[in-house]
Amino acid sequence: MNEAPFTVRAGERGADGSFRRRDAAFRALLAAEALRAEPGRYHLYVSLACPWCHRTVIVRELMGLTEAVPIAYTHPFRDERGWAFTGGRFDDGPGGEYVDRVNGWAFAEQAYRATDPGYADRVTLPVLWDTATGRIVNNESSEIIRMFAGEALRPPALVGEIDAVNERVYDTVNNGVYQAGFSRSQQSYGAAVAELFASLEWMDGLLGTRRYLAGEVITEADWRAFPTLVRFDEVYHLHFRCNVRRISEFPSLWGYTRDLYQVPGVAATVAMDQIKVHYYTTHDELNPKRIIPVGPAPDFLAAHGRG
């Protein structure tokens, strides 16, 4: 495996030193029924370390698609070629074996090359792969979870609220931690952290009045937010310098994070050892010695008191 460190590319850097995430490249859409109609045709490539992948793994599990949509896991370390199938094992989480049993690839990059031989942008996961056509269907996590769930996580009466929450949480929380972590100027870092913690305060206040982000039922807004929240105290607080407060210091937000963690099937998708290996060994610009912190190990199984 190439040991070149992960770096932010020129096209992902704003003039003020800020980090700018690029849009996903492959955006075909399928109905949820199509995934169930041909079990095994569509295949999900993910890393349990990645928060964007994590949301797809959760929704796949909750929607009962584990047989219909097989999954392959990559190693948590990521180099410039993207995510790798090393053939090795990892003890933490269901992604214990890093093998592509569909195509026999060594790198997720090969899915991109097979779909577009001229592809020259960053290789990202998740990837929903079509074994019949030999092409990537979609590599945008928010669209993949909608394909998996249909309307189950988007009740028509709550769509407006869900979309409003999603927009703010994506811009300032999901992506906000990266904007803080990969900033190269005090100005861009300070702006990102200010927006991030303003949104965390807003979420904490919202969750003081309702059980979930869009109301009294779990929606896609919750599963889009959760992967960032569950990583926050262990990774983003230190590694990305998002250190104004920990999630465990927000009373409603911390109870809410534990509430979601304790939904049946979800805890098994949280591979914290893989998460920490990925962040603390992949970003040499931020952690050149690749030393992985031991703590703080928040107790996600503690009683949450939310219903």
- The candidate with the shortest Cα–Cα distance to 138, out of 167, 112, 162, is 112
Tokens linked to 26 = 């492959």
* 3-state per-residue secondary structure call for 229-255: HHHHHHHHHHHCCCCCCCHHHCHHHHH
**Mean pLDDT, range 11-18, rounded to an integer:** 56
The predicted-structure confidence for 166-188, as pLDDT tens digits, reads as follows 999 999 999 999 999 999 999 99
50 is catalytic: yes
Name the catalytic one among 42, 50, 112, 279.
50
- The pLDDT value given to residue 79: 78
Name the catalytic one among 45, 178, 189, 256.
178
Q: How far, in whole angstroms, is CA 264 from its chain's centroid?
A: 19
The predicted-structure confidence for 93-118, as pLDDT tens digits, reads as follows 676 689 999 999 999 999 999 999 99
Beta bridge partners, 197, equal none
Nearest 5°: phi and psi at 130? -100, 110
The predicted-structure confidence for 231-286, as pLDDT tens digits, reads as follows 999 999 999 999 999 999 999 999 999 999 999 999 999 999 999 999 999 999 99
3-class secondary-structure state, position 71: strand
- The pLDDT value given to residue 203: 98
Percentage of residues of the chain with pLDDT beyond 90 = 82
Report the largest interatomic distance among the alpha carbons of the chain, rounded to a whole angstrom. 52
pLDDT above 80 (res 18): no
Question: Helices (DSSP H) in 170-306: which residue ranges?
Answer: 176-181, 186-207, 220-231, 237-239, 251-261, 272-282
pLDDT above 60 (res 10): no
Q: Is 281 left (phi over 0), alpha (psi -120 to 50) or beta?
A: alpha
- The pLDDT value given to residue 8: 58
Q: Band the pLDDT of 15: cuts 50, 70, 90.
A: low
- The pLDDT value given to residue 89: 73
**Mean pLDDT, range 132-152, rounded to an integer:** 96
d(CA 174, CA 244): 16
178 is catalytic: yes
- The pLDDT value given to residue 26: 85
Quote the pTM value: 0.91
Q: Band the pLDDT of 154: cuts 50, 70, 90.
A: very high
Looking at mean pLDDT, say which of 50-54, 78-82, 96-100 comes out highest.
Answer: 50-54
Tokens linked to 45 = 């490539």
